[in-house]
Amino acid sequence: MEFIQFYPLGWNDKRLPVWMADLSLIDFVPLIDSQGNEFLLDKLRQWGFRDGAEGNLYARDRAAVAIAEADQNGGAFLHFESLPASVWEDKRFLRALVIHPARLKGVKGPVRVEPLQHYFCGGIVIDENCHTSISGLYACGEVTGGADGANRIGGNALANIVTFGLRAGQNAAIETPQTGVFSIQDTPAPTFPNKGAPPQTLRQELQNMMWKCLGPIRNELGLNEALMFLDEFENRPYCVSSSADLLAALEMPGLISTARACAQAALVRKQSLGVHYREDSV
């Protein structure tokens, strides 16, 4: 559960959506740190990669850490203001933006970027037919662990869900009559105390803390801080007053369990491996 893949290049600018940009964008736009260095292209070439496009396939883990380090030390910025007009007509550049170019053409000055959480390489244990340890429960894709090892290569997510999704669906269809059908009526209706903060507010607090402690750069102090926070956080009451509140409240136990499993696994694995990076690595 410690193997969380972070996409290296995400918009961190209030003028733009919270979304990713293809790492090949740095082949067109200078990515500059607070010291004025175009740091990532140099690193990619030191690692043996030709450019950002190649790094996007094979070096997302190291590129995410490099951008996260720059972000911690003053920021990493894309300088669109220095681009010649011809670049804005290049189809490869436009694809790399991932958002409509009109969102950027009117932006003045550099645009700050940072990594963002992208994909889970760890999760539920399955066999080759997508059985889990719970009879009648099948799993595939991003919620499962093992298929991608410690780091997914760019492009493999689709192959994963198609291959294992087909197996999960086929086996569920064949075997369900033998295991019985789960009914929602078997589950008691949840109740919540009508006090405390809205669950969406608590969810944002949980996300902020996990980003701080379980982001691309981790250490023992931060991971222990995350676990202490979760011990206190799980006892917070929610104020449920709408259907949106109810959905967020029902999701909360799963979010807390997932966060705790990630923090515990990241604490146990003291060495850096794949997408799991410990700056205090032994």
Residues 6+ apart with CB under 8 A from 189: none
Out of 100, 118, 136, pick the residue that ends a domain.
118
Annotated catalytic sites, by residue? Answer: 60
pLDDT score recorded for residue 185:
67
The domain containing residue 242 runs over which residues?
199-268
Judgement on whether residues 102 and 125 belong to the same structural domain of the protein: no
Would you say the C-alpha torsion 60, 61, 65, 66 has a positive or negative sign?
negative
Question: How far, CA to CA in Å, does 150 sit from each of 120, 261, 275?
Answer: 10, 16, 6
Residue 278 lies in a domain: no
Residue 55 lies in a domain: yes
Residue 280 lies in a domain: no
The answer on pLDDT for 184 being more than 70 is: no
Residue 276 lies in a domain: no
Taken as a whole, the chain contains a residue count of 282
Instruction: Tell me the C-alpha distance between 7 and 68, whole Å.
Output: 11
pLDDT score recorded for residue 94:
96
Judgement on whether residues 77 and 144 belong to the same structural domain of the protein: no
Residue 91 lies in a domain: yes
Interval 14-70: pLDDT, tens: 989 999 999 999 999 999 999 999 999 999 999 999 999 999 989 999 999 999 999
User: Per-residue b/e over 102-111, b at no fewer than 16 CB within 10 Å?
Assistant: eebeeeeebb
User: Which pTM was predicted?
Assistant: 0.87
The answer on pLDDT for 249 being more than 70 is: yes
Judgement on whether residues 151 and 240 belong to the same structural domain of the protein: no
**Domain count of the fold of the chain:** 3
